[in-house]
Homo-oligomer: A and B are copies of this chain.
Amino acid sequence: MSDPRRLEVLRAIVEDYVHFREPVGSKVLVERHQLGVSSATIRNDMAALEEEGLIAAPHTSAGRIPTDKGYRLFVDQLASVKPLSAAERRAIHSFLDSASDLDDVLERSARLLSQLTRQVAVVQYPKASQARLRHLEVVALGGSQVLLVLITDTGSVDQRVVDLGQVLAESDVAVLRTMFLAACANQPLDALRETVPVLTATVAPGLQQPAAALAAALLSLLDSSAEERIVLAGTANLARATMDFPLSIGPVLEALEEQVVMLRLLTEMHQDQHGVAVSIGRENPFDELAGTSVVATGYGKGSASKVGVLGPTRMDYPSSMAAVRAVARYLSRILAG
């Protein structure tokens, strides 16, 4: 499969099918593209492409549509990432620069990406496990309750109200605060799982119980913040995309709500030479997503967190890849600054 014209034919089929949303035949192909040969020749090429499983015909007298394998080859070898328009770049800047906190940034990114690509956007929360603890605070709330606050260097803040089981003097709270802070500051969150349990051993006898309660709360807080989440936007675009094709929208919506599915998918994908990961149709490990493709890439520290879009396999891959990459870059920049 190295004949350059055949590759050109495949590209033309993919592009036309994405554009017009209907099977494309040999005749329109030569009309719409400067292929320099007749439709009969194209037919021979198409037969060969079908032989290789790159395209298929819904029925005898219809044109051809790309298979998953065809899209794959297109993405790997034929797609040049389409540069964003000036208007799109402007949109990214104006959209994200006005964001305030982390939640806001992620939500805006998702919305933006869904508007740019007219697809469903998915943004994973920055991974907490790789983050370091920037600050830890213990605040007395009155009674036996204190508030435990964790701030990581990714900018996320988690907190939980803890009942220490006994009323403590402000000075004792300060002791606990200092102790925990000294032990935890600047540690990666993962490391805390080991250091924290040991902490209570070194504490004064009278503070044993409260310290243990606090440690337990801290650990459970680590767990729940490591519990990863995603932000969605543009699910309505699914409805549009599903209009003309028998990709029933229900299971896809379920998969999206079942965040675990998307999280696993995002982490399992790995980026290709374009710096973008693409999972096409049945390549997806989930049957519900057999009719959809996901274009994703990493952002943030070590590109550990993912951002991407999900749409029908018949999607505009070059544009999607460009938009995803651009948003990821901008996201990284904002989070780093």
- Chain A residues engaging chain B, CB cutoff 8 angstroms: 100-101, 104, 134-135, 137, 139, 141, 147, 149, 151, 155, 157, 159-161, 220, 224, 233-236, 238-240, 248-251, 253-254, 257
Closest to A227 in B: B104
A249 cross-chain contacts in B, Cβ below 8 A: 239, 249
A-B contact sample (5 more), CB < 8 A, given A100-B224, A135-B139? A100-B220, A135-B147, A137-B139, A139-B151, A149-B149
Smallest Cβ-Cβ distance to A100: which chain B residue: B224
Contact B233 A257 (CB under 8 A): yes
Chain B residue at smallest Cβ distance from A134:
B141
Which DSSP category, helix, strand, loop or mixed, fits chain A's interface?
mixed
Q: List the B side residues contacting A159 at CB < 8 Å.
A: 101, 149, 151, 157, 159
Q: Can you list 28 A-B contacts with CB-CB less than 8 angstroms, sorted by A residue number? A: A100-B224, A101-B159, A101-B224, A104-B224, A135-B141, A135-B147, A137-B137, A139-B149, A139-B151, A147-B149, A147-B151, A149-B149, A149-B157, A151-B159, A155-B161, A159-B159, A233-B257, A234-B257, A235-B235, A235-B253, A236-B250, A236-B251, A236-B254, A239-B248, A239-B249, A239-B250, A240-B250, A249-B249
A240: chain B residues within 8 A (beta carbon)? 250
Tell me the bound Cα distance from A31 to B257 in angstroms.
42
A100–B216 CA distance with the chains assembled, in angstroms: 13
Residues of B within 8 A of A224 (CB): 100-101, 104
A247 to B257: give the CA distance in the assembly, Å: 22
Measured CB to CB, the closest approach of chain B to A162, in angstroms, equals 11
Pair B257/A236 contact, Cβ less than 8 Å = yes
5 closest cross-chain pairs (CB), A and B: A239-B250, A236-B253, A236-B254, A239-B249, A157-B159
CA distance A134 to B139 in the complex (A): 11
Q: State the CA gap A161–B137 with chains docked (Å).
A: 14
User: A10 vs B251: C-alpha distance in the bound complex, in angstroms?
Assistant: 35
Residues in chain B near residue A151, CB distance under 8 A: 139, 141, 147, 159
**A141 CB contacts on chain B under 8 angstroms:** 134-135, 151
Q: How far is the CA of A157 from the CA of B147 in the complex (A)?
A: 10
Chain B residues, Cβ within 8 Å of A220? 100
